[in-house]
Structure 1
Amino acid sequence: MRPGDGVEAEVRAVADTTLRIVVEVLAGTRPPHQLSLVAVPAVCRGLAPHRRAVPGGRRIVPPRVLSSRFQRPSRTVAETSAVVVVAGRVHAVALRLQHLRGRWRCTAVETTAP
């Protein structure tokens, strides 16, 4: 095991969890306020309008992550990108995580989802 492997595993786990939460908010299966667990306020505000409205009585199809990629451009920054299915349509999602005040937080999200 190399030095820092534990940190690498931790960052990957945070990135995977954050990606799942963001995609669930976009799909309408998770309330936007739950983003505050993993994201800075600006990201939470930015994604809230993207949340899909679910028509009454209609079944929500859970979103799926088809593939993802992870990289560490620096010691305090991690980025992940993914191809996801939201409401039967394929979209791209990219997240930037930064180590702020002792924990990893999502500081930026880009997506092709409406």
Structure 2
Amino acid sequence: MTMTVATTSRPANRRSPQRATPAAGQSGLDIDVRLVARSIAQAVLEVLAGTRPVHQLSRSLDSECYVSLQHRAALTRKHAARSRGSAQPHRSPMVRSVRVCSISESICEASIVVAEEQRCRAVAMRLERLEGIWQVTALEIG
């Protein structure tokens, strides 16, 4: 159900709120990239939590990002083993928002906000379309 409110006049300096629309020349690629970024961010945090094996992201991450995530997950497991009494470090991550900026037709950058039980985290990634598949070539997890 939508509600429309009509006004007789609007001050010149006040703009009406509008949803962002794709810029001229862009297709539905932004929507696809948002979905890809969302699922990769969710999967990355599940890897850090130890609830998903890192090899499931082998097609989605380039080799440098893959090795880096593998290393960080190992460090996270080692830290969790030292403090055994605590709960899992990253339980139940939920993606709250995804913002995508198109650099070119085959390169996008995304920022994702992920909520966990105790805090929110930021994930930033650069995605490049290689042979028709979006692949993360840079990944930062806050």
TM-score, length basis structure 1: 0.77
Code of the residue aligned with 2:64 in structure 1: it is: A
Match of 2:53 among 9, 27, 31: 31
Q: Which runs of 5 or more structure 1 residues have no equivalent in the other structure?
A: none
Going by fraction, where is strand more abundant, 1 or 2? 1
Question: Which of 91, 97, 101 is the aligned partner of 2:131?
Answer: 101
- Structure 2: unaligned runs, 5 residues or longer: 1-23
Q: Contact 1:27–1:86 (CA<8 Å) still a contact in 2? A: no
| Structure number with larger C-alpha Rg | 2
Please say if 1:42 is aligned against 2:58.
no
Count of paired positions: 111
Question: 1:87 Cα deviation (Å)?
Answer: 6.1
Deviations 1:11-31 (A, max 9, x none): 222222212212222222211
What amino acid sits opposite 2:33 in the alignment?
V
Shift of 1:38: 0.9
1:109: how far off? 0.2
Pair 1:30–1:106, CA change in 2 (3 A): same
TM-fit CA distance, 1:7: 2.8
Higher relative contact order structure (alpha carbons within 8 Å, sequence separation ≥ 6) = 1
Residues 34 and 98 in structure 2, CA contact (< 8 A), matched pair in contact too: no
Report the TM-score when normalising by structure 2.
0.64
Percent identity over the alignment is 37
Cα root mean square deviation, aligned: 2.6
